[in-house]
A = this chain, B = another copy of it.
Amino acid sequence: MDSDLGGTMKKSTPIFTKMLEYRAQNPVRFHVPGHKGRTSPDLPFYALDLTEITGLDDLHQPSGVIREAQQLAAEVFHAEETFFLVGGSTVGNLALILTVCKPGDEIIIQRNVHKSVINGLILAQAHPIYLPPKIDPLSGLAVGVEIPTVEQILSKHPQAKAVFLSNPNYFGMGEDLRSLADLCKRARIPLLVDEAHGAHFGLSPRLPPSAMQSGACAAVQSTHKMLSSLTMSSMLHVQGGEIDRSKLRTILTMLQSSSPSYPLLASLDLTRKYIAEEGRQALDDAIARSAELVGMIEESGVLWLDVLKQGQYSYLDPLKVTLRSRASAYTGYSLKQFFEHSRVYPELADERHILFVLSLATTTEDITRVCDVLRQLPKHATDMSFNHLNNTFTFAREIILQPHQAFHRTTERLPFESSVGHVAGEMIVPDPPGVALINPGERMDKQIMLYLKELQGMGCQFHGVSDPLLNTIEVIKDL
């Protein structure tokens, strides 16, 4: 027995202590969850941590309070039927794919979806037909899909079981889904949307319409991200007859805990009530504070920092404020550290951006704290020739095996640099944003290998991989 672990450490609570430490420093939270630790109703933790006992209904067979709460939510979020999720939007995405696809079925999928959608393909043994996203030239970020691309792929794959889009992206860049929904309707193929970052959409005329309002058949929303429920609580909205709801219900029961957390369910219920009563005004106020933040950044005189405003997408969520560095001395990762040093926590960084997520709970004081940090930055930078790594990147990879086929094959470990030409046996996912750059079964090429190493060197974190430092990679053996 390790004596250090056995002694002092056993008396510590690393996670809990860190959480208390975090709270004690009075941080400004520009990250999810949307409630920022503020939305009150005093829900003491343990006293209300209940499970499915008499009177509290049953998430897996709702007929009482949960059914009622879900019906009320469906009304507020413009759905015909709403399912409360305690496994996050992850479980909603997995369930949708398992509902529409049998093993071997084809499904049309936006390439830059969240990794949970690719995991859904593996579990369902479905075959993806990828829709390449546009790459926004200003930011270098992967955004939505173009209508002609969808039209072309739909006509080539009429047997596909669904079109699965991710909208908006992590940075709030999105497409108007109404014409895409019409296109899918004409092709008689259900449109499913991972709307994890758009739980607030459609709740004010100043926000883009939601996927449900736009005519999608199903949408998964991370209520905890942009509204105010507890982390890991989400909603799955459905309308129309295209989705087999009985099968969907069964699959949700298969994937979710048979002891669901009631605080999570209650927080969805409380959020819906708040939105129904005060949502529009509160969102409009939040949008006003966001404009205030943008104004302050632009007046800060930091000449090498831009605020992203418009690019190759239909809209930008006003509650997402993305700063772009033009100075090669400041990567997004280093800027994020700089802000965090002053206890201002952005949601994420990539090579040259940092993202601030605002919500109903963001205050004017939070905005001021950002500007205090901006004042500490140099106004000028010597080298303004920062190039996007992203601009050298495309999602076009040679697909050798379907994701689920690769998943079940024997792999071997190679030095990362020697992987060029080999077929990846694992997913490589910079997280956040959680979009896989390599799926299992895709051939590694030199461009992606170098790009990933460069990201890693800048401080990017990776999910999916067995070696997060990218010194090695699992590739398919005996191909």
Verify if A255 is at the interface (C-beta below 8 Å from B). Answer: yes
Most central of A5, A61, A64, A75 by chain B CB within 10 Å:
A61
Interface residue ranges of A36-55 to B (CB < 8 Å): 37-51, 53-55
Contact of A31 among B21, B51, B273 (CB under 8 A): B51
Verify if A22 is at the interface (C-beta below 8 Å from B). Answer: yes
Verify if A153 is at the interface (C-beta below 8 Å from B). Answer: no
- Nearest residue in B to A124 (C-beta to C-beta)? B123
Inter-subunit contact A46/B40 (CB<8 Å):
yes
Verify if A136 is at the interface (C-beta below 8 Å from B). Answer: no
Verify if A68 is at the interface (C-beta below 8 Å from B). Answer: yes
A55-B22, A269-B15, A276-B10 known; A5+B49 contact, CB < 8 A: no
Docked Cα-Cα span, A9 to B389, in Å, equals 52
Verify if A87 is at the interface (C-beta below 8 Å from B). Answer: yes
Docked Cα-Cα span, A265 to B102, in Å, equals 34
By a CB distance below 8 angstroms, the chain B residues around A48 are 19-20, 23, 37
Inter-subunit contact A75/B6 (CB<8 Å):
yes
Inter-subunit contact B273/A260 (CB<8 Å):
no
Verify if A86 is at the interface (C-beta below 8 Å from B). Answer: yes
A37-B46, A49-B33 known; A256+B90 contact, CB < 8 A: yes
* Copies per complex of this chain: 2
Docked Cα-Cα span, A106 to B132, in Å, equals 39
Docked Cα-Cα span, A2 to B408, in Å, equals 50
Docked Cα-Cα span, A57 to B431, in Å, equals 12
By a CB distance below 8 angstroms, the chain B residues around A246 are 466
Shortest CB-to-CB span from A388 to chain B, Å, is 24
Docked Cα-Cα span, A255 to B95, in Å, equals 11
- Nearest residue in B to A345 (C-beta to C-beta)? B53
Contact of A464 among B2, B114, B250, B434 (CB under 8 A): B250
Q: How many residues of A contact B (CB 8 A)?
A: 114
Contact of A256 among B9, B87, B431 (CB under 8 A): B87
Tell which of A160-168, A201-209, A224-232, A314-322 binds the partner. Answer: A224-232
Shortest CB-to-CB span from A195 to chain B, Å, is 15
Contact of A49 among B2, B90, B231, B277 (CB under 8 A): B231
Shortest CB-to-CB span from A425 to chain B, Å, is 10
Shortest CB-to-CB span from A113 to chain B, Å, is 12
Shortest CB-to-CB span from A325 to chain B, Å, is 19
A45-B44, A46-B35, A54-B345 known; A258+B90 contact, CB < 8 A: yes
Shortest CB-to-CB span from A26 to chain B, Å, is 11
Inter-subunit contact B257/A1 (CB<8 Å):
no
Shortest CB-to-CB span from A256 to chain B, Å, is 7
By a CB distance below 8 angstroms, the chain B residues around A119 are 253-255
A10-B277, A22-B56, A462-B61 known; A259+B222 contact, CB < 8 A: yes
Inter-subunit contact A261/B230 (CB<8 Å):
yes
Verify if A12 is at the interface (C-beta below 8 Å from B). Answer: yes
Interface residue ranges of A58-90 to B (CB < 8 Å): 58, 60-61, 63-66, 68-69, 71-72, 75-76, 86-90
By a CB distance below 8 angstroms, the chain B residues around A69 are 13-15
Q: 5 additional contacts, CB 8 Å, given A10-B76, A115-B258? A: A15-B56, A31-B53, A61-B462, A125-B125, A250-B426
